[in-house]
Chains A and B, each alone.
Chain A
Amino acid sequence: MIMGENGHRYKLVLGYGTCGIAAGATAVKDALEEAVEGGDYDVDLDIAGCMGYCFKEPVIEIFDRDGGSVIYGDMTAKKVPQLLEEHVGKGVLVEDWVIKDSREPAAGEGDFLENQHRVVLRNCGKINPENIEEYIAIGGYEAARKALTSSTPEAVIDEVSASGIRGRGGAGFPTGTKWGFARKSPGDVKYLICNADEGDPGAFMDRSVLEGDPHSVLEGMILAGFAIGARHGLIYCRAEYPLALKRLDIAIEDCHRKGFLGENIFGTDWGFEVRVKKGAGAFVCGEETAMMASIEGQRGMPRPRPPFPANSGLWGKPTNINNVETLAAIPWIMAKGSDAYSAIGTEKSKGTKVFCLAGKVRRTGLAEVPMGYTLRQVIFDVGGGIAGGRQFKAVQMGGPSGGCLPESKLDTQVDYDQITAAGAIIGSGGMIVADNRTCMVDLARYFLSFTQDESCGKCTPCRIGTKRMLEILERICEGKGKPEDIASLETLADDIKAASLCALGGTAPNPVLTTLRYFKNEYEDHIFNHRCTAASCPALITLQIDPDTCTGCGACVKVCPTEAITGEKKQPHHIDVDACIRCKMCLSRCPSESIVAE
């Protein structure tokens, strides 16, 4: 609903993406509907995708007629009546729940957004993703209309090239150059694929964009299809994102109704179709040749390149593959001009990048920042620092293909080349923050177990090499590491990197290599001292009860599977170290946090 459409004084927008729903937005929505239907409130209700405030979900933003707005966080159904009564009814803020007030933008949690620069997420949380009219009302589809009716494919490619945008899926290949290859490749039938197979654990920006602003992606696809000469578009989306799939279906249907998709779009003789292909759960399908195999109905295994997809891709036809985030930025570039985009960022990395802040950071959520921001700015200024007052230890970037950077690298600028030089990659943009309770050897083991599990098995270095590396890492975590293990890991890593067929294997050793580079002492501690300094690896810790703080409530006794905990009621308890299997169940049960792992 567009502001003022029904002449109401306020417009209330509920964040209704997967994060919000998981945090209870459906109950809030029901309560809002009920209250507004029953009461006499001067308000319009609407939904939007994720605003990025994941740490405060469910989130409600209330706009007034003068253009001001207030965001409320941690909403529940119970809070709804009071919120409507005070804010909408009396025009008074409910101060305790406010997280951002447009009159004092940087106060409270406001600087989370104030420190960002939103290009890709420009509409997320602002418009109803299921209503095409809202997208059109803010100038949506104008860039596509203008290009198709009064420009040429070559001019579109030139504009995109001039903006300097590089592929946001991870590899960072210049988008304009990629389009140029596909344009020049001979063939009547060409395909455009939008890669929405966001398989990196820890990355969720593609989901947020598809859920919050699917039309930007579709408009980007229309422009890309026109530029390269593809009349067929496919969106390969994870099946794990049901809401994104649903909103895409609605958006595509609406586009057909409006004449933005189909034959003779925008009244021209150009036609473009978009279909959605649902993935079936395989990380390797984020690799372009594996993805195409899966679309063709085969096992999702990569093949050697060349031939590159631009020459021989889906069904042997020229194919261009772009990531969701890249495509969502295209309409902005076409509307505002390449200069506006290239003015943001560093010399070699232009524009903005969306990061998914998660892990032990205080404000988890979506952070879109200009390239060139330092990691410190992203984690501390936007992310608000480390949760629970603990100490920063490392930031993991780029998922299973990336690496972990320590505190000494916090002043590295976010830029494709600088992050790579530091030992990690920007990748798809996952940023998992680890504090001093996170064991870096265990984190490396975790990623290896992931890549080992997701290895398609086609080439030997990846299939067997990752298995051997995982065995070594498991051994180290269990306290059975051998002195030569570190050298073996390094040799294996080099071989796997050099000989693997695709990027999955080629980058699989990265988490191990960067943790070895920056946190070698932790490996040595595990192997030689049988100690896990983060008190995380079960085999290397001892659990004890602090007799000074233990209240003797007995909660730990009930959960201990081996009956290792004993003690009189209301008296300090004791753990029998020999009987303890270090499952840490008691640790999470203890109400007075008296159980210590060392």
Chain B
Amino acid sequence: MSRPSGKFCPTVPKNRPARVAVRPRAALTRESLLLESSRVAARPAAVAARHEEERMEKECACANRYADVDDLGPMDEIMEKYGHEKGALIPLLQEAQDAYGYLDEQIMRELARRAGYQLSQLYGVATFFSQFRLKPIGEYLIKVCHGTACHVGGATQISDEVCNQLGIKEGETTPDNKFTLESVMCLGACALAPIMVVGEDTHGKLKPTGIKKILKKYADIAGSTEEEE
């Protein structure tokens, strides 16, 4: 499976309604959080322009979200950061997964060679912790929370409905490479149970009936013309 390359970005409609956030505000800067707005005498037009700019930036970031496994560029950076730190095996794997989207065998071999570990050590750690993936994922990772509050609140029906809508089982990726479904343990937003995370957006107080609408939003964003039925 290969990752979708930048084919979605050029097709993103420019006049998308403001409420549709693509990649959430992952890159919240301190400045934006401090809400210095009241001190700055800017006009609404300037704010709107800034929001639009931020939005476009985020949209384009999705194009090359992950590096190709043959590209060893990110590996150099990772090695520089953690290569010589005692016991930094987990950060090494975390950074590699952030860069490549998953831990390909080739990547793990290269990491082991460069950082002086046995491949078995890396594999042992990668298969122990639930965060690590040995297979690529779709453009949007859907994590349905199955913590206690979500379980009591009906998380099983939420998972069933997502499976039903996408035609995949847990752990699988849709054939168009758009969605991967995972169930996870507590995401710590129990008061809004049941919840799921799509990409980096958290959706709370879910009902099975609302799932279709949520998924459709992402299918649309991704520039898809297919209906998620």
Contact = CB atoms under 8 A, between A and B. Distances in A.
Interface stretch (B31-39, B172-180, B216-224): B31-39
Contacts of A357: 191
A60 interface: no
A134 to B, nearest CB: 11
Give the bracket for the number of chain A residues in contact with chain B: 35 or more
Contacts of B38: 6, 8, 36-37, 41, 43-45
Given A432-B152, A583-B160, A297 B125 contact: yes
A356 interface: yes
Interface in A4-38: 6, 8, 16, 18-19, 21-23, 26-27, 29-30, 32-34, 36-38
Given A199-B185, A585-B208, A57 B192 contact: yes
Nearest to B25: A26
A461 interface: no
A432 B189 contact: no
Contacts of A201: 146-149, 151, 185-186, 190
B152 A37 contact: no
A402 B25 CA distance: 37
Contacts of A18: 188-189, 202
Nearest to B54: A30
Given A26-B21, A239-B131, A38 B202 contact: no
B78 interface: no
A575 to B, nearest CB: 17
10 contacts: A19-B204, A23-B192, A30-B51, A201-B151, A203-B188, A279-B129, A365-B191, A430-B148, A430-B190, A454-B185
Interface in B132-181: 132, 146-149, 151-154, 157, 160-161, 164
B161 A239 contact: no
Contacts of A283: 185
Contact of B131 (A250, A280, A396): A280
Interface stretch (B3-11, B82-90, B105-113): B82-90
Nearest to A129: B33
A130 to B, nearest CB: 6
A526 to B, nearest CB: 18
Contact of A16 (B33, B40, B43, B90): B33
Interface string A426-451: 00001010100010000100110010
Contact of A446 (B128, B151, B154): B151
A202 B125 contact: no
Contacts of A32: 35
Interface string A230-270: 00000000111110001000100000000000000000000
A204 B40 CA distance: 36
B58 interface: no
Nearest to B210: A588
Interface string B93-131: 110000000000000000000000000000011001111
B171 to A, nearest CB: 13
A201 to B, nearest CB: 4
Contacts of B89: 297-298
A131 B147 CA distance: 32
A562 B130 CA distance: 34
A204 B160 contact: no
B195 interface: yes
B14 interface: no
B44 A29 contact: no
A500 B125 CA distance: 22
A282 B128 contact: yes
B228 to A, nearest CB: 15
Interface in A153-211: 198-204, 207
A37 B33 CA distance: 15
